[in-house]
Amino acid sequence: MDAHRQAYKEEAYELLAELENSLLELEENPEDVELIGRVFRAMHTIKGSGAMFGFEDIATFTHEVETVFDLVRNGKMAVTRDLVNLTLRARDLIKGMLDASDGGEAVEGREAEEVIAGLKRLVPAPAIGDPLPAAERPASRLDGGEGPAVTYRIRFKPVPEVTVNGTNPLLLLAELNQLGPCRAVAQMANVPELEELNPEFCYVYWDVILTTKRGTDAIRDVFIFIEDDCELKIDVIDDGGILDTDADYKKLGSILTERGDLTRHDLETIIARQKRFGELLVEQGVVTPEKVASALVEQQHVKEVRKDRQAQESASSIRVPAEKLDLLVNLVGELVTVQARLSQTATGRGDALLASIAEEVERLTNELRDTALNIRMLPIGTTFSKFKRLVRDLSVELGKDIEMTTDGADTELDKTVIEKLNDPLVHLIRNSIDHGIEHPEERLAAGKPRQGTIHLAAVHSGDSVLITITDDGAGLDREAIRAKGVERGIVPATAELTDKEIFDLIFAPGFSTARTVTSVSGRGVGMDVVKKAIDALRGTIDLTSERGKGTVITIKLPLTLAIIESLLVKIGADCFVLPLSIVEECVELTREDVRNAHGRNLASVRDQIVPYVPLRERFLVGGDAPEIEQIVITQVNGGRVGFVVDHVIGEHQTVIKSLGKMYKDVKGLSGATILGDGSVALILDIPQLVREVEREQAVW
């Protein structure tokens, strides 16, 4: 049961996210019937499943909200901003109730009552007191609306005189056929001998198997005008997947017994004869051939329906806990390491057969690695949708008019990266809303549209994803930022800085040009935290801005954090790893080059000066450096920085391992990996190394 409750909660969280998105879209398109249906179905599912798994508070509360929203679905109530506001609050409360079941803070009943009271006040006066039938019924398919496809067994037995008043039963069957896939079998048992037959009478009755998303009311509506002149029996024989466990359906005998066409005694008697069941029934005169045919039709029909449904379900998706995926990726990482050892051993022994096996294992390992990593890839749109609510709520709070647009929501990114990206994006968007976009009056005075825009976009770029946040607000004040930098002693007063260098000052800890710090944000306040978070994801953040026109923030992130392509280098006996995504090239550094630089760590690379960091000195590696060293030139924050190593070994597939809490304060290292020979190589945190060197040089 706990597993079922957990499954319900996972589904409910997804439904709440869908509900929030639908409501935000509905606010923009209040007449969209499809969106109204999505909102209703999400609440209906949350309510129905909640009651089933013991979440009575959620079921009761959601029922109240659903009841009001059912009026919208039936066209008795319009979608208004107040309705969306209250429904969003209700959505937050439902989420709070779910969180509370995991030990979160309990939702106050008073707040829930306020929401319900607010919703009821929105109900048009004539509708007050209406029974609100649909929401109070146990299942949506009973209200004539659409629900899961259900298969019904219908016995339609009109009185013989039904045709005398002009009723044509065949037209009723034709109307029934419009509700969904339908099969009808005429029963002739009551047809009299010719001399007793009245040609104006109808002696035939029908067994119908119908699969439809409409409810029993829709079926009964077909016969509404002759309901007093017929015997109508409707049974659910397949409820859309809850009861069935496989594609098979009941045996013929069970069907006939259920219909009342065969007694249990007759069934057992016939079975005992071990002959073909249907034939025996007909031979014995227990049932007519038509009844057997009817039951066989039912059996075949339901089999086909279930087979199709199971085929669709198996081709769709399955729900897997994230922990299992993490475990899978970890195991694949171990396999990659072992495969590297195998390849190295095979190369060392010169055994052709072993080398062939190692190559095959490498191929399979690479395929398994790619497949495992792809499983963890999720569209970033799930994160984007959260920010629409953020923009909406903060705009109202600050009295601004801001529209958020998105692009590239289907761009896929590793699940872990998406989760860790949430906080930095929230901070950046809050900054854009608070200090980027102007108030409507200011925008109009500046000749801009009254409504500001924040555009969030994602796009693949090689092995990375570029995420851009663009606003058409006031832009950054270049001179104010520079003056603040000088005031804080970060830059000399006489320094000539490019726009990028000036804008990068806002990433300094505690840097802010805001005259007042609001409850929402301050541009610059906490931007160092954003940068650290992006650096931790091995990403980069870049910012451009034009005064009066707006700001563009670009974040570049790797697709995955688990396994990366890297460059393996060696210093003395130690190996180090640099992320290949930031490596531009490798050049030689001779002793003459060092002498010509007169003690400065600068190299001339095709007539361009590139500063470099001697890693041997940096990490205090003993021994003598070779006569000719190597400079690995990287691209960091828009600039080129070199790192001097003894040797460049080559590209390497790196499985990232954390260093553990003991090494959390070590600067310049982001993790470690195990090499093919079992030794450990440290993974360099290049942006952090550069910052540390810059900080030390500023001190000296």
Per residue in 668-688, pLDDT tens?
888 888 887 778 899 888 888
Let me know if residue 445 belongs to a domain.
yes
Domain boundary among 312, 339, 360: 312
- DSSP codes of every residue in 460-492: EETTEEEEEEEE-S----HHHHHHHHHHTTSS-
Give the three-state DSSP class for 98: helix
What are the percentages of helix, strand and coil residues in the chain, rounded to 5? 50, 20, 30
Let me know if residue 141 belongs to a domain.
no
Six-digit token string for 671: 């993790």
- Which range among 72-86, 121-135, 429-443 shows the weakest confidence by mean pLDDT? 121-135
Let me know if residue 138 belongs to a domain.
no
Indicate if 115 and 162 belong to the same structural domain: no
- Which range among 81-90, 294-303, 304-313, 435-444 shows the weakest confidence by mean pLDDT? 304-313
Buried b (16+ CB within 10 A) or exposed e, 570-590: bbeebbbbbbbbbbeeebebe
Let me know if residue 134 belongs to a domain.
no
In this structure, is the dihedral angle defined by the CA atoms of residues 31, 33, 39 and 43, taken in order, positive or negative? positive
| 548 or 281, which is more confident | 548
Query: Is 196 exposed, middle or buried, given 0-12, 13-18 or 19+ CB atoms closer than 10 A?
Result: exposed
Domain boundary among 256, 283, 312: 312
Residue range 142-161: mean pLDDT, rounded: 75
Indicate if 373 and 423 belong to the same structural domain: no
Q: What are phi and psi of 184, to 5 degrees?
A: -125, 140
Indicate if 329 and 294 belong to the same structural domain: no
Per residue in 62-98, pLDDT tens?
888 888 887 888 788 888 888 988 999 999 999 888 8
Within a 10 A sphere around the Cβ of 388, how many other Cβ atoms? 22
Indicate if 609 and 535 belong to the same structural domain: no
How many structural domains compose the chain?
5
| 565 or 274, which is more confident | 565
Q: Which has the closest alpha carbon to 464: 411, 517, 399?
A: 411
Its pTM stands at 0.60
What's the CA gap between 669 and 683, in Å, rounded? 6
Q: Please name every residue paired with 412 in a beta bridge, in sequence order, or none if there are none.
A: 379
CA dihedral of residues 414, 415, 421, 426 (deg, nearest 10): 140
**CB of 644 within 8 A of CB of 597?**
no
Indicate if 161 and 278 belong to the same structural domain: yes
Give the three-state DSSP class for 202: coil
State the SS3 of 665-685.
CCCCEEEEEECCCCCEEEEEC
Residues 6+ away with beta carbon under 8 Å from 166: none
- Which range among 200-204, 232-236, 314-318, 507-511 shows the weakest confidence by mean pLDDT? 314-318
Query: β-strands 464-471, 540-546: how paired?
Result: unpaired
Query: β-strands 680-684, 574-579: how paired?
Result: parallel
CATH number at residue 487: 3.30.565.10
Per residue in 399-414, pLDDT tens?
889 988 989 888 888 8
Domain boundary among 107, 122, 137: 122
Let me know if residue 387 belongs to a domain.
no
What's the CA gap between 560 and 164, in Å, rounded? 75
Indicate if 370 and 415 belong to the same structural domain: no
* Residue that has been written with the tokens 């790893």 in this structure: 577
Indicate if 438 and 553 belong to the same structural domain: yes
Indicate if 277 and 226 belong to the same structural domain: yes
Q: How many helices (H) and strands (E) does the chain have?
A: 23, 21
Let me know if residue 504 belongs to a domain.
yes
| 343 or 262, which is more confident | 343
Domain that holds residue 475: 394-513+521-558
Six-digit token string for 616: 């041997």
Let me know if residue 17 belongs to a domain.
yes
User: Chain-centre distance of CA 665, in angstroms?
Assistant: 34
Check residue 469 and give its pLDDT.
93
CATH number at residue 662: 2.30.30.40
Confidence of residue 553 (pLDDT cuts 50, 70, 90): very high
H or E stretch at 616: helix 615-618
Tell me what percent of the residues of the chain surpass a pLDDT of 90: 12
**Would residue 232 be called left, alpha or beta, if left means φ above 0 and alpha means ψ between -120 and 50 degrees?**
beta
Check residue 512 and give its pLDDT.
67
What's the CA gap between 685 and 669, in Å, rounded? 5
User: Could you tell me where the beta strands, DSSP code E, fall in 504-607?
Assistant: 540-546, 550-558, 563-571, 574-579, 583-590, 602-605
CATH number at residue 31: 1.20.120.160
Q: Which has the closest alpha carbon to 648: 671, 695, 615?
A: 615
Check residue 141 and give its pLDDT.
39
**Would residue 314 be called left, alpha or beta, if left means φ above 0 and alpha means ψ between -120 and 50 degrees?**
alpha
**CB of 654 within 8 A of CB of 673?**
yes
Check residue 272 and give its pLDDT.
67
Check residue 52 and give its pLDDT.
63
Check residue 357 and give its pLDDT.
92
Statement: residue 524 has pLDDT above 60: no
Statement: residue 129 has pLDDT above 70: no
Highest averaged pLDDT of the listed ranges 166-170, 182-186, 289-293: 182-186
Indicate if 244 and 345 belong to the same structural domain: no
Confidence of residue 518 (pLDDT cuts 50, 70, 90): low
Indicate if 217 and 68 belong to the same structural domain: no
Per residue in 20-34, pLDDT tens?
888 888 888 888 888
Let me know if residue 573 belongs to a domain.
yes
Check residue 552 and give its pLDDT.
93
Statement: residue 278 has pLDDT above 90: no
Per residue in 586-637, pLDDT tens?
999 988 888 888 878 888 888 889 999 999 988 888 888 899 999 999 988 7
H or E stretch at 440: helix 440-445
- Which range among 159-173, 427-441, 569-583 shows the weakest confidence by mean pLDDT? 159-173
Check residue 232 and give its pLDDT.
86
Check residue 675 and give its pLDDT.
83
Check residue 249 and give its pLDDT.
66
Confidence of residue 516 (pLDDT cuts 50, 70, 90): low
Statement: residue 145 has pLDDT above 70: no
> Which residue blocks in 462-603 are alpha helix, DSSP H?
478-487, 499-503, 527-536, 591-596
Per residue in 457-467, pLDDT tens?
998 876 678 89
**CB of 659 within 8 A of CB of 638?**
no
Strand order across the beta sheet in which 452-461 lies: 402-407, 452-461, 464-471, 550-558, 540-546
What's the CA gap between 289 and 256, in Å, rounded? 12
Query: β-strands 452-461, 402-407: how paired?
Result: parallel
Indicate if 177 and 92 belong to the same structural domain: no
Check residue 556 and give its pLDDT.
85
Indicate if 544 and 425 belong to the same structural domain: yes
